[in-house]
A and B are shown apart, each in its own frame.
Chain A
Amino acid sequence: MTLEVDTSQVKVAAVERSRVSLRSTLASRVEVIVGGVLVLVAVLIAIIIPMIDPAASTAVGAAPSLVPPGLLNLLGTDQLGRDQLARVAVGYGISLTIAVGAVLLSVVVGGLLGLLAATATSAIDGLIMRILDVVMAFPALLLAIVVVALFGAGTEVLMLAIGITFVPIVARVTRAAALETTRQPYIEAAMARGARRGRVIFRHIAPNSLGPVVVQASILIAIAIMLEASLSFVGLGVQPPTPSLGLMLSTGRDFMVSDPWIVAVPAIAILEIVLGFTLIGDGLQTWLDPKKRAIAR
């Protein structure tokens, strides 16, 4: 076996790799844009459609039941003659409210805990992380079910239930990012200048640790929408007559043999918005930091 290494080959490989990484940067930008468009469409549907006829989503018998998609009812009507487009629109609104609310809650609580863990003494750090380990030991959907069992189903409870399951994830991401930031020379400089601890944490460490948290947040919104839809689907989430995508799918099952579009509509609606947020999160991840790949979905 000879030890001659063909260096020209290595150079070609390096050029090849930089070309691939440029291409993947462009691809991730396209991903973010496509995801953004999908989310925007859902948001516009959620805002505009209910303005046209605010009562349409719950107006029983406003049209004949189980009308296929057509000019009068673009996405058809359900078994009670309610307009499916209007129900999807309100469902989107509720999904987005719960998902964004849950993620905001987890970013505020988890972010603060993560910052505290990264900057406090190792005893406090250990205590916070061990408590979060206990929360993380619950599979997400089951923890949400536990919270619903305690407080009953409803929009605010769902926000809280899903938000709590995300707190340990956000805290871990924030803690890791903040520890990385703490090692930077400018933090040392700020400390040496005699800046107060609180100021260093919130003016210097927090903003510079935000990137990974933002990426995580957009992935978490996608998961939150899935969790909300799952809970509503099994009857533990949004309660009728309030429309929800998961509920529409669940009640539509009884009619799907004769009228498949009645489940196809909410199925595609859920898929569209989850795909939108997943693409944004995925694209941002490779775009902002190709080194840090998805660990927590």
Chain B
Amino acid sequence: MILRRLALTVPILLGTSTIVFLILRLVPGDPAASILGSNATEEAIIRVRAELGLDQPLWQQFVSWLGGVLRGDFGRDYITNQAITEELAARLPITIELAGIAFLLALATAIPLGVVGAVRNGGWADRVVRAVAVLSIAVPDFVFGILGILSFALALSLVPSSGYTPIEDGLLENLRSLAIPAIALSLGLGGVLARVTRSAMLDVLGSDYVRFAKASGFGTGAIVFRYALRNASIPIVTVIGLQVGYILGGTVVVEQLFSLPGLGQLIVEAMLARNYPVLQACILVFVVAFIFANLITDLLYAVLNPRLRKVGAA
């Protein structure tokens, strides 16, 4: 099953990278002409086209681009003439830190809330959990971000209103600069996760073996944490895999709002400057991250549910 799943990833990687490659070739306008500006001579354009390899057939360009990408070479930025790989290396850690904190935050709050909702099904605690979950799904990250700036940054001065403080300048300062962005980013995943945890736990808690465990005198805590949560984990993991995409997409907006110099901000800058090689590289990084997140999710199934390891069906 694991081998089959790994094999499925290859065509998806190939398909997505083809699409990402074609973006640059399909956008209106000649890259060579846009590098040189409007006064460029015909010869200069032909020379730059040759330098960029644009005079080769499309499939050859694709092969050499893909070869470069596999060696970690994304080509050069049209505008700064810097190696794109270096730009990515400078920005990627910020996005990873932001997304990672948001992800852990969502997990750490949503799963306990979902469990409480299921154990207290129908009670006031359950109602509060469900209301909070729906609200956090309906609040777009940037709307929460702005309200967070207004309240926690401007009114209470607890955190800076924008900008990023590197870890070298102190872990506390670093975390303070990411606090509101990370909370904003975690809301969507958290809300969905709390609901799925709640309904998955409800299913498990209603099953015969849990009733039997109860009848045998096991306490609620033991049942919930030793048996039920593990059996409810498959739908939870599925949703996490799907929702990682929203966190990745969310970094684009949240980094823009808080002026965090990460990959998401680079995407917007590259789009607005029509800097397509950079855009291409950023999108490829995000897509590959998302594909691997889903791959890890699927592999986790096998860890969580030993039955899936033998039967070949996912």
**Contact indicator A139/B195 (Cβ below 8 Å):** no
Within 8 A of A (CB), among B202-239: 206, 211-212, 215-217, 235, 238-239
**Contact indicator B250/A141 (Cβ below 8 Å):** yes
Residues of A within 8 A of B121 (CB): 20
Size of A's binding interface in residues, CB under 8 A = 55
**Contact indicator A256/B146 (Cβ below 8 Å):** yes
Query: What are 20 A-B residue pairs whose CB atoms fall within 8 Å in the complex?
Result: A1-B216, A23-B122, A130-B11, A131-B15, A134-B16, A138-B290, A139-B245, A142-B249, A230-B142, A233-B253, A233-B257, A234-B256, A236-B272, A249-B142, A249-B146, A257-B154, A267-B147, A274-B140, A275-B138, A297-B242
Judged by a CB distance under 8 angstroms, whether A112 is at the interface is: no
CA distance A24 to B195 in the complex (A): 14
Judged by a CB distance under 8 angstroms, whether A90 is at the interface is: no
Judged by a CB distance under 8 angstroms, whether A106 is at the interface is: no
User: 9 additional contacts, CB 8 Å, given A274-B140, A296-B242?
Assistant: A9-B215, A142-B248, A149-B271, A149-B276, A249-B146, A267-B143, A271-B140, A293-B199, A293-B235
Residues of B within 8 A of A296 (CB): 242
In the complex formed, the residue of B with least CB distance to A153 is B271
**Contact indicator B279/A149 (Cβ below 8 Å):** yes
Binary contact readout A233-245 vs B (1 if CB under 8 angstroms, 0 otherwise) = 1111000000000
Residues of A within 8 A of B196 (CB): 293-295
CA distance A282 to B130 in the complex (A): 11
**Chain A contacts to B: CB under 8 angstroms:** 1, 5-6, 9-10, 13, 17, 20, 23-24, 130-131, 133-134, 137-142, 145-146, 148-150, 152, 222, 226, 229-230, 233-236, 246, 249, 253, 256-257, 260, 263-264, 267, 270-271, 274-275, 278-279, 282, 293-297
Judged by a CB distance under 8 angstroms, whether B1 is at the interface is: no
B contacts with A: majority SS: helix
**Contact indicator A134/B19 (Cβ below 8 Å):** yes
- Closest CB pairs A-B (n = 4): A141-B249, A134-B15, A139-B245, A275-B138
Size of B's binding interface in residues, CB under 8 A = 64
Set B23, B215, B239, B249: member contacting A139, Cβ < 8 A: B249
Set B122, B135, B154, B256: member contacting A275, Cβ < 8 A: B135
In the complex formed, the residue of A with least CB distance to B268 is A234
**Contact indicator B238/A295 (Cβ below 8 Å):** yes
Known contacts A226-B140, A278-B137, A297-B188: does B271 contact A142 (CB below 8 Å)?
A: no
Judged by a CB distance under 8 angstroms, whether B313 is at the interface is: no
In the complex formed, the residue of A with least CB distance to B15 is A134
**Contact indicator A139/B246 (Cβ below 8 Å):** yes
Judged by a CB distance under 8 angstroms, whether B243 is at the interface is: yes
Residues of B within 8 A of A146 (CB): 19-20, 23, 283
Within 8 A of A (CB), among B69-106: none
Within 8 A of A (CB), among B132-164: 134-135, 137-143, 146-147, 149-150, 154
Judged by a CB distance under 8 angstroms, whether B304 is at the interface is: no
